């Protein structure tokens, strides 16, 4: 385990760059992580998904899978791939300060 | 992460329920990880993309020596459905129902819905030209996500540099 400073806050991250403790997450951190994931700007649509993932992740203790997001967050598969191109499942989990999604679907 | 996008291609040649899922699960995982996905359907795999067939894929217990899964909450250990019983009318429907229920219980969508998800996620789905001719099918017979009917050589051109998975 290592720590790094994101948006002026020291947080614990794993070797793949995912935050280990979701409680350390802030919205400012999300903005910085999004930049690292080639998303220079987070729109209200992005935030809707991120907030869903935060809520769901904190309740279940794990990052929601892509299918869970599209079936419960009111966002379609197409929209997910448009909002978080090239790997929406991993991207949104990382930006939301959660671990890698564990489910297969 | 390297700048070049990883590419993976699946060749789906089977039309049974159990053989439909591997490419769907792995392909979906690949899309979720930002990998470029191409799927080529050939021979019995055509059933997966044919509108009239996709919701009727089956699983036959006959000759399926691996079919020793727990049934209706009962752990059968090393006992499966004996082949001699598998030939009884209704056994294929029974095994199919059992598998479909188990898949649904895991919140994994049915094949047709899964293929739509894949297409929406940017997977490129192609039908094999030779199989189309062999089975006398037309583009209109396929589900919406299928982009085109292509030859084996076209498929090879499209998947340059991709990792191949044959199912």
A78 contacts on B by Cβ (under 8 Å): 120-121
ipTM greater than 0.95, yes or no?
no
pLDDT tens digits, one per residue of B131-151: 999 999 999 999 999 999 999
pLDDT at position B1 is 47
Phi and psi at residue B149, to the nearest 5°: -100, 125
First to last CA, chain B: 28
Report the half-sphere exposure of A45 (CA within 13 A, side-chain side).
Answer: 12
A89 contacts on B by Cβ (under 8 Å): 32-33
Report the half-sphere exposure of A97 (CA within 13 A, side-chain side).
Answer: 20
Whether B147 and B21 have beta carbons less than 8 Å apart is answered as: no
Residue A104 designated active-site: yes
First to last CA, chain A: 28
Domain ranges in chain B with CATH number 3.40.1260.10: 7-55+114-166
B70 contacts: CB under 8 Å, gap ≥ 6? B76
Q: Does B5 touch chain A (CB under 8 A)?
A: yes
Q: What single DSSP character describes residue B124?
A: E
A48 contacts: CB under 8 Å, gap ≥ 6? A73, A74, A75
Q: Does A96 touch chain B (CB under 8 A)?
A: no
Domain boundaries, chain A: 2-95
Residues 40-79 of B with CB under 8 A from A: none
Phi and psi at residue B9, to the nearest 5°: -130, 135
CATH of B7-55+114-166, one of 3.40.50.300, 3.30.70.1150, 3.40.1260.10, 3.90.1150.10: 3.40.1260.10
Q: Decide if B120 and A101 are in contact by the 8 Å CB cutoff.
A: no
- Nearest chain B residue (CA) to A90: B33
pLDDT tens digits, one per residue of A22-57: 888 999 999 999 999 889 999 999 999 999 999 999
Q: Crossing angle, helix B91-105 and helix B17-32, to 10 degrees?
A: 20
pLDDT at position B30 is 93
d(CA B138, CA B52): 12
Which residue among A68, A76, A89 places its CB closest to the CB of B33? A89
- Kindly state the average pLDDT of the residues B97-102: 89
Which residue among A77, A101, A104 places its CB closest to the CB of B121? A77
Q: Does B103 touch chain A (CB under 8 A)?
A: no
Q: Does B113 touch chain A (CB under 8 A)?
A: no
Residues 52-91 of A with CB under 8 A from B: 65-68, 70-71, 76-78, 80-81, 85-91
User: β-strands B7-12, A9-13: how paired?
Assistant: unpaired
pLDDT tens digits, one per residue of B33-86: 899 999 999 999 999 999 999 999 998 888 877 777 666 677 777 777 778 888
Q: Does B33 touch chain A (CB under 8 A)?
A: yes
Report the alpha-carbon angle B106-A66-A27, nearest 5: 135
Share of chain B above pLDDT 70, in %: 96
Q: Does B31 touch chain A (CB under 8 A)?
A: yes
Whether B25 and A105 have beta carbons less than 8 Å apart is answered as: yes
From the CB of residue B55, how many other CB atoms can be counted at a distance below 10 Å? 10
Q: Decide if B33 and A76 are in contact by the 8 Å CB cutoff.
A: no
Phi and psi at residue B65, to the nearest 5°: -70, -15
């Amino acid at each position: 385990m290592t720590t790094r400073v994101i948006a002026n806050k020291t947080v614990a991250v794993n070797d793949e760059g995912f935050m280990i403790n979701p409680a350390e997450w802030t919205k400012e951190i999300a903005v910085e992580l999004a930049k690292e994931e080639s998303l220079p700007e987070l729109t209200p649509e992005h935030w809707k998904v991120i907030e869903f993932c935060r809520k769901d992740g904190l309740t279940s203790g794990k990052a929601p899978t892509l299918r869970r997001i599209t079936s419960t967050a009111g966002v379609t598969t197409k929209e997910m791939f448009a909002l978080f191109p090239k790997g929406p499942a991993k991207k949104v989990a990382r930006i939301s300060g959660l671990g890698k999604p564990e489910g297969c679907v | 992460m390297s700048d070049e996008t990883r590419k993976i291609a699946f060749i789906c040649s089977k039309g049974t329920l159990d053989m439909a899922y591997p490419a769907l699960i792995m392909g979906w995982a690949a899309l979720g990880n930002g990998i470029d996905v191409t799927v080529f359907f050939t021979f019995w795999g055509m059933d997966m993309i044919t509108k009239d067939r996709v919701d009727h894929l089956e699983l036959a217990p006959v000759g399926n020596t691996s079919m020793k899964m727990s049934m209706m909450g009962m752990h059968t250990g090393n006992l499966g459905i004996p082949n001699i019983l598998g030939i009884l009318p209704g056994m294929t429907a029974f095994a199919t129902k059992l598998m479909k229920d188990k898949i649904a219980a895991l919140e994994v969508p049915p094949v047709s819905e899964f293929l739509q998800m894949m297409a929406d996620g940017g997977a490129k789905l192609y039908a094999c030209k030779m199989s189309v001719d062999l089975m006398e099918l037309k583009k209109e017979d396929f589900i919406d996500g299928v982009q085109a009917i292509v030859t084996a050589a076209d498929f090879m051109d499209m998947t340059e540099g991709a990792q191949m998975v044959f199912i």
